[in-house]
C-alpha cells in the first residue's frame, strides 16, 4: 500500500555538521541527530531530510561523494545512521536522505579508474570530451564555482565536465552502466529503510550529447559570476534527465511510501517543476527555490504564487525560504527597508506564509528559532564558493553555523570544543533553551501553528486562490472538501488594513488574530489573520 504522506508534509532539513556534536571534534554527527529526535518530534514536522553524510573528502562538505554506501567517519557509522532511522520511525517521522546523483568526488573509485585511460572499464562512466584544435575546452560552459566547467586530464588528453568544483566530475547518464550502478546505490539505502530521496542539483544530471555552446544572456550588473552570463539551455534540464527520472520512479515505486524530491535550480523553476511532477511518472515533488530571491514583497509573492498555480496544474511543489545554500530568510528579506524592525515578528509571519501555501514545506534547522545569518570572518570561512568570490559573495557559511541549543553552555551547547564554524553571539539569545521558556517565542509560535495547521485539511491539501489585495497585504483562500480558509498577511513593518469581503468568521490562531472593524481587518506590522467560511 502506498500513501501520499508527502502532500502538504513539513520536512525538517538537518545539516549534520552543524546540528549537534557528541564526540567533541567540533562537527555534528549521527548520534547528535538521534539525541535531538524528541526535539524534532516536538516541532510537529512530518519528516527529516539529512544533508549528505556519505564518505567524502569534504571539498564541498559532503556533496562530493567518494563512497555512497558508507557514512563518513566524522558523522559516525552506518550503525549510527540505522539508529537515526529507527528512532525517527518510532516517533512517526519519515527519513529523507540527500542523494547526489549527477556527480561524484574525484576520489571515488569509479573516477580514479576512469581518468587513467580511454580504454579501462570505467572509461565512459564520466563526461569526457576532446579539446578544440587550439587546446581549449570543448565548449563555453561555465562552472558554478567559477571558471570553465571543464578540467584537463593529461593522462587521457581530454577534458572532463564538472558543473561545480573540479573535484566533482559529472557522471555520464547516457551510459546504461552508470544508470545501473547508481540505481544499486539507491536500492542500498531504500533497503536500509530510508523513506525518500532529495535529489541534489537534478537538472544537471544529464548533458547535451552534442556539447553545444550555451547562448549568452543580457548581462546584469548584479552578476558577479561568469556562469550568470549564459542561458543554460544545453548544460541543464536535458531530455535524458526525464527519461532517467521515469526509470528511478519505477524503482522507488517498489518500496512502500517512497518519495522523490528533486532540487530545481538554475532554470525556470516553476515550469521545470511542473514538467518533472505533472505526469505522476517522474518526481513526486520539486524543491522550489522561487522564494530564495533577495527581494521580497507581497507583490513579489503574489506573482510567484499566481504563476505557480497557473503552470503547476496537477504537479506538486515543496516550498522553502531557507536552506544550507542561501542567506537565512530573516536576514535576506529583513534587509529590505520595509521589512526592518521586529525580527521575531518577521520570522513568525514568514513561517506562517510558508506553511499556508499549497504544497509541501521545508524548514531549515534554526528557521524555527528565527535565526539570522551569522557573520563569518574571512579567516574562518570554510566554503570554497565564498573564498573564491569574497567579498562580493561571502559564501554559504553564514547559514551553516552551528545550532544554538543553550545560552548557558559553552559553544551554545553544540559542542564541548571549538566548532567547525564560529557560534554567532547574536544566536545565543535565540537559543532553544531561551525560547522554550518564552510562550511568545518564534519556536513556540511555530509549534502552535503547525499543530493548528494539522487540524485543517484545507491548509495541508487544499486548492489555492489568490484574493485581491493592496500592498503590503497578501491574501489567498485555501479550500478542500467543504472547508474554506482565508489567509491574510501584512508583509511590512507598519500597520495595514484589508477589506473583508464575504461571510468569513475569524479563527483564533496564536499570533495571528487581528481585529475586524467595520469590514476592515486591522493588521499590525508583520501580522496575519485567518478566517473560515461557515458551512
What's the rounded Cα separation, in Å, for the pair 229 and 467?
37
- Measure the CA angle with vertex 440, ends 435 and 444; round to 5°: 55
Whether the Cβ atoms of residue 414 and residue 20 lie closer than 8 Å to each other: yes
What's the rounded Cα separation, in Å, for the pair 171 and 102?
6
Q: Which of 199, 6, 196, 191 is nearest to 82 (CA)?
A: 191
Q: Report phi then psi at 512, rounded to 5.
A: -135, 75
Q: Does the active-site annotation cover 200?
A: yes
Q: Which of 8, 38, 33 is nearest to 21 (CA)?
A: 33
Distance of CA 7 to the CA centre of its chain: 16
Q: DSSP 3-state assignment of 398?
A: helix
Whether the Cβ atoms of residue 449 and residue 352 lie closer than 8 Å to each other: yes
**Grid cell listed for 158:** 581530454
Helix axes of 269-277 and 298-312: crossing angle, nearest 10 degrees = 30
- Measure the CA angle with vertex 15, ends 24 and 222; round to 5°: 125
What's the rounded Cα separation, in Å, for the pair 514 and 535?
22
Q: In which region does residue 138 sit, left (phi positive, over 0), alpha (psi from -120 to 50) or beta (all else)?
A: alpha
Which position has the grid cell 547526489?
100
Query: Mind giving me the DSSP string for 228-252?
Result: GGB--TTTSS-HHHHHHHHHHHHHH
- Point out the catalytic residue in the list 72, 200, 237, 266: 200
Strand partners, 49: 13, 96
What's the rounded Cα separation, in Å, for the pair 429 and 292?
26
CA distances from residue 262 to 55, 248, 275, 473, 518 in whole angstroms, order as listed: 22, 12, 12, 31, 47
Q: Which of 20, 48, 3 is nearest to 403 (CA)?
A: 20
- Measure the CA angle with vertex 385, ends 230 and 218; round to 5°: 20
Helix axes of 239-252 and 269-277: crossing angle, nearest 10 degrees = 40
- Point out the catalytic residue in the list 263, 266, 397, 484: 263
CB contact set of 500 (below 8 Å; sequence gap of 6+)? 516, 519, 520, 521, 531
- Measure the CA angle with vertex 350, ends 347 and 352; round to 5°: 110
**Grid cell listed for 156:** 587521457
Bond before 472 cis per omega within 30 degrees: yes
Active-site amino acid positions: 200, 263
Amino acid at each position: 500500500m502506498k500513501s501520499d504522506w508527502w502532500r502538504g508534509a513539513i520536512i525538517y532539513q538537518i545539516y549534520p555538521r552543524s546540528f549537534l556534536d557528541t564526540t567533541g571534534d567540533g562537527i555534528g554527527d549521527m548520534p547528535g541527530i538521534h539525541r535531538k529526535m524528541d526535539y524534532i518530534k516536538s516541532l510537529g514536522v512530518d519528516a527529516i531530510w539529512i544533508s549528505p553524510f556519505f564518505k567524502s573528502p569534504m571539498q564541498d562538505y559532503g556533496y562530493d561523494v567518494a563512497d555512497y554506501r558508507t557514512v563518513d567517519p566524522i558523522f559516525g557509522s552506518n550503525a549510527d545512521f540505522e539508529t537515526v532511522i529507527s528512532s525517527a520511525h518510532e516517533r512517526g517521522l519519515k527519513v529523507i536522505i540527500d542523494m547526489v546523483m549527477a556527480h561524484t568526488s574525484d576520489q571515488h573509485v569509479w573516477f580514479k579508474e576512469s581518468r587513467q585511460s580511454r580504454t579501462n572499464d570505467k572509461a565512459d562512466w564520466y563526461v569526457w570530451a576532446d579539446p578544440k584544435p587550439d587546446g581549449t575546452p570543448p565548449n563555453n560552459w561555465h562552472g558554478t564555482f567559477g571558471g570553465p566547467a571543464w578540467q584537463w586530464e593529461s593522462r587521457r588528453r581530454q577534458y572532463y565536465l564538472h558543473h561545480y568544483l573540479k573535484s566533482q566530475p559529472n557522471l555520464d547518464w547516457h551510459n546504461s552502466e552508470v544508470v545501473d550502478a547508481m540505481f544499486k546505490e539507491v536500492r542500498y539505502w531504500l533497503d536500509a529503510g530510508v523513506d525518500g530521496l532529495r535529489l541534489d542539483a537534478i537538472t544537471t544530471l544529464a548533458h547535451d550529447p552534442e556539447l553545444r555552446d550555451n547562448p549568452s544572456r543580457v548581462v546584469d550588473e548584479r552578476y558577479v559570476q561568469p556562469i550568470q552570463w549564459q542561458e543554460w539551455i544545453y548544460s541543464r534540464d536535458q531530455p535524458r534527465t526525464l527519461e532517467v527520472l521515469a526509470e528511478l520512479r519505477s524503482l522507488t515505486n517498489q518500496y512502500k511510501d517512497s518519495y522523490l524530491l528533486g532540487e530545481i535550480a538554475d532554470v525556470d523553476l516553476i515550469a521545470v517543476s511542473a514538467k518533472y511532477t505533472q505526469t505522476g511518472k517522474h518526481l513526486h515533488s520539486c524543491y522550489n527555490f522561487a522564494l530564495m530571491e533577495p527581494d521580497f514583497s507581497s507583490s513579489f509573492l503574489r506573482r510567484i504564487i499566481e504563476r505557480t498555480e497557473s503552470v503547476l496544474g496537477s504537479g506538486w511543489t515543496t516550498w522553502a525560504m531557507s536552506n544550507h545554500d542561501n542567506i537565512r530568510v530573516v536576514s535576506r528579506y529583513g534587509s529590505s527597508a520595509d521589512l526592518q524592525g521586529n525580527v521575531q515578528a518577521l520570522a513568525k509571519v514568514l513561517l506562517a506564509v510558508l506553511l499556508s501555501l499549497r504544497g509541501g514545506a521545508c524548514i531549515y534547522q534554526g528557521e524555527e528559532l528565527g535565526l539570522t545569518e551569522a557573520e563569518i570572518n574571512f579567516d574562518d570561512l570554510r566554503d570554497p564558493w565564498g573564498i573564491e568570490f569574497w567579498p562580493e559573495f561571502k559564501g554559504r557559511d553564514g547559514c551553516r553555523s552551528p545550532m544554538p541549543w543553550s545560552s548557558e553552555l559553552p559553544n551554545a551547547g553544540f559542542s564541548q570544543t571549538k566548532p567547525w564554524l564560529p557560534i554567532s553571539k547574536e544566536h545565543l539569545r535565540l537559543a532553544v533553551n531561551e525560547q522554550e521558556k518564552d510562550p511568545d517565542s518564534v519556536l513556540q509560535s511555530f509549534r502552535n501553528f503547525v499543530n493548528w495547521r494539522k487540524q485543517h485539511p484545507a491548509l495541508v491539501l487544499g486548492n489555492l486562490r489568490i484574493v485581491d489585495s493592496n500592498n503590503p497585504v497578501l491574501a489567498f483562500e485555501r479550500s478542500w472538501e467543504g472547508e474554506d480558509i482565508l489567509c491574510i498577511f501584512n508583509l511590512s513593518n507598519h500597520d495595514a488594513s484589508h477589506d473583508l469581503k464575504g461571510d468569513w468568521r475569524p479563527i483564533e490562531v496564536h499570533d495571528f488574530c487581528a481585529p475586524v472593524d467595520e469590514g476592515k481587518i486591522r493588521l499590525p506590522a508583520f501580522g496575519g489573520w485567518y478566517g473560515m467560511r461557515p458551512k
